[in-house]
Amino acid sequence: MIQAQTQTPEYWGLNFTIKSSDIEQINNHFLEVERPQTADELARVVIAHRVKEEARNVQRLLSGRTVYQPKRKYEINEELVFPMLQFAHGQVKSVRPGHNPQYGEFSVIGVEINGKEREFAAGLQADHVLNSESPTAITQMVDVDLEQLYQLYSYEVEKKLVKKLETLPEFVRLSNEWFIKPLMLDINIGHLHLAEAILEINEGGPLPPAEILPHLDLDASSDVSVRRFSLNYAMLHDDRFDEIAPTGLVSWFLRRLEPEDVRNVPERLKYTAVSYDRALLSPQLLALERELDDEWSELEPVGTPEPTVLSLTYPHRRSGTLPLSSRTRPLFPTSRSSRQQIVFVDEGTGAEMTGWVVQDARYVYGLKDWYEENGLAVGGYIYLKPATESGKVIINFDRRRPQREWVRLATVSDNQIKFELMRRSIGCGYDDLLIVGTDVVAAMDALWKRIESHQRSVSSLLAEIFPQLASLNPQNTVHAKTLYSALNMLRRIPPGPIFAELVRHPAFQPVGDHYWRFDSSRWRVG
């Protein structure tokens, strides 16, 4: 059966490209509908255009020519078209008798195609696939099921179309919607001043564009989707405003009224990448790195949101934040924007707390008061799970009756960190290998800044804290998790560089089960 090219997987495959005629068709489509369109809707425009284009091309190729079929007879100079040869056309140049006892009497015609003469059977009454195709069916073969084509190929067409549109300045994209600049409304500085005032009255937001638009006196004759798109585009390019909704939604907030630790990354969470050789990490150390799930570790995120448990580290306890790590990231909304507002729901009390996802810096802000109210310790277990309502995350911790426990407590003396075991009241479940604390927060912050200004190496910091921690253990050993937790009181750093330094430097010696011993006689800087 002769099949239209647009009905084949090959047509829409690797070699499919967006042509200038496709872009022209999209422009015409926008001029016709006069409103923003999704990428999927535009992909459908391209597919429909290609089908119509092929239909026109087939009609042009068939015009004034005879569709070749082996059963028919032809005359010299007769114009033929060959659908099975991608509608190649040619002129009959010769006719001679054919000879094949199996087929009876027939003729052989010589047809000139693209400057070369090829021979075909004519007057052949034997069964042949081309004899079963009626010329009418061939001319109608491009009457295809467009919906089926959309289902099969729109995803691939959409990807290539978006890539092409992103290179063309006349097209504008907001989330998954596209529009053309000539049809957008003019949003002037006065409109933006009004939008700022509206947000300020509403404590900064968040407000969807539908609640801002009625106050701006825009052209009411234009489609509301055009007004919304034009406003969103203008606000997106004005530094006063922050778009904070998950993918698929739009909500605006006044940037200057956002919490300080949302607009600017807390000092304790800033990580300057450290180069190290990951090949030094054994499978066991890589598994431990995965268990710690630091947001700056080189870990692939899990695929879907699922309940997870994490241990609170000192930088996040100090900043009132959670890590946006491989296990926690899927629980929070994704967006092209760098910040999104979410709601934490305390599973124990039902209380709701406003949180902020800061994508680029990999943290979620908004838990400082919750940590304080519940007495969360460094190393404490925190439970997260998805809520049924979009934009919310359920949070809890291992609630226990407070008991006095022996914990590692950090102090500062002579610009160095010191550790000792002290009894403290702990009202939550915790990882004993990670728990550290301090009563001298201001002194620890000052030491942090001093170390940061001196750009101390990982190995020198390990050499400073190791003897202090080892003295708390009768075996004079320290677990790698404890080193990670304690070192992050002095410098923000993920487990990878720490573990690599333990393996690389001869002063650090493994004794099994992730415990290490420090040999000061083998210590050297570097």
> Tens digits of per-residue pLDDT, 375-391?
999 999 999 999 998 88
> Which tokens is 300 given?
């692939």
Which range has highest mean pLDDT (57-61, 117-121, 211-215)? Answer: 211-215
Check residue 1 and give its pLDDT: 44
CA neighbor of 36 nearest in space, from 206, 232, 253: 232
Q: What does the pLDDT read at residue 282?
A: 95
Residues 308-323 have a mean pLDDT of 97
Does 287 score more than 90 pLDDT? Answer: yes
- pLDDT by residue (tens digit) across 413-427? 988 999 999 999 999
pLDDT at 98: 87
Q: Which of 482, 485, 487 has the alpha carbon at shortest distance from 470? A: 482
Q: Which residue has the higher pLDDT, 2 or 509?
A: 509
Residue of 58, 50, 53 lying closest to 83 (CA atoms) = 58
CATH class of the domain at 281-400: mainly beta
CA distance 260 to 421: 35
Q: What pLDDT, on the 0 to 100 scale, is given for residue 10?
A: 87
pLDDT band at 65 (very low <50, low <70, confident <90, very high): confident
Q: pLDDT band for position 141 (50/70/90)?
A: low
pTM reported for the whole predicted model:
0.76
Q: Of the ranges 50-59, 257-266, 410-419, which one carries the lowest mean pLDDT score?
A: 50-59
What is the pLDDT, as a whole number, of residue 307? 94
Lowest-pLDDT choice from 176-185, 231-240, 299-308, 429-438: 299-308
Asked whether the predicted pLDDT for residue 34 surpasses 90, the reply is yes
Which pLDDT band holds residue 136 (cuts at 50, 70, 90)? low
Whole-number Å distance between alpha carbons of 121 and 104: 12
pLDDT at residue 142 tops 70: no
Q: Answer yes or no: is pLDDT of 139 > 60.
A: no
Q: Which helix or strand (DSSP H or E) is residue 428 part of?
A: strand 416-428
3-state SS, residue 116: strand
The Cα–Cα gap between 318 and 311 comes to 14
In this predicted model, what pLDDT tens digit does every residue of 151-210 receive, in sequence order?
Answer: 888 899 999 999 999 999 999 998 889 999 999 999 999 999 999 999 999 999 999 999
Q: At what angle do helices 458-470 and 480-487 cross, to 10 degrees?
A: 120
Given pLDDT bands bounded at 50, 70 and 90, which one contains residue 286?
A: very high
Q: How far, in Å, CA of 181 to CA of 164, rounded?
A: 16
Pairing of strands 416-428, 79-82: unpaired
**pLDDT over 90 at 101, yes or no:** no
Assess whether pLDDT exceeds 60 at residue 134: no
Three-class DSSP category at 1: coil
Q: Is the dihedral of CA 72, 77, 81, 85 positive or negative?
A: positive
Torsions phi, psi of 467, nearest 5? -60, -35
Residue 526 has pLDDT above 60, yes or no: no
Among the listed ranges 4-13, 270-279, 295-304, which one has the minimum average pLDDT value? 4-13
Which residue shows structure tokens 């907001």? 174
Which band of pLDDT confidence, cut at 50, 70 and 90, is reported for residue 341?
very high
Task: Give the Cα separation of 372 and 189 in Å (integer).
Answer: 43
Q: How far apart are CA 345 and CA 358, in angstroms?
A: 19
For residue 23, give the 3-state DSSP assignment: helix
Other CB atoms within 10 A of residue 413 CB: 9
Neighbours of 444 (CB within 10 A): 20
- Specify the 3-state DSSP secondary structure of 435: coil
Is residue 105 classed as helix, strand or coil in its secondary structure?
A: coil
Task: Tell me how crowded residue 288 is: count the other CB atoms within 10 A of its CB.
Answer: 18
Residue 105 clears pLDDT 80, i.e. is over it: yes
Count CB neighbours of 387 within 10 A. Answer: 17
Q: What is the pLDDT of residue 27?
A: 96
Find the range with the poorest average confidence among 92-96, 103-107, 346-350, 434-438: 103-107
- Domain 70-132: which topology? SH3 type barrels. (2.30.30)
For residues 330-350, give the mean pLDDT: 90
Question: Beta strands 79-82 and 88-97: pairing type?
Answer: antiparallel
Q: Residue 486: its pLDDT value, please?
A: 96
Domain range 184-258, its CATH number among 1.10.3470, 2.40.50, 1.10.10, 3.40.140: 1.10.10
Alpha carbon distance 199, 201 (integer Å): 5
Q: What mean pLDDT is reported for the chain? A: 90
- Worst-scoring range by mean pLDDT, 80-94, 311-325, 327-341, 469-483? 80-94
H-helix or E-strand spanning residue 45: helix 39-62
358 phi and psi angles, rounded to 5 deg: -110, 95
| Three-state secondary-structure class, residue 123 | coil
Residue 206: asked if its preceding bond is cis (omega within 30°), the reply is yes
Virtual torsion, Cα 62, 67, 73, 79, nearest 10 deg: 30
The confidence score (pLDDT) of residue 124 equals 84
Q: Which one is predicted more confidently, 247 or 36?
A: 36
Give 336-351 as a DSSP string. SSSEEEEEEEETTT--
Residue 59 predicted with pLDDT over 90? no
The β-bridge relationship of strands 79-82 and 66-67 is parallel
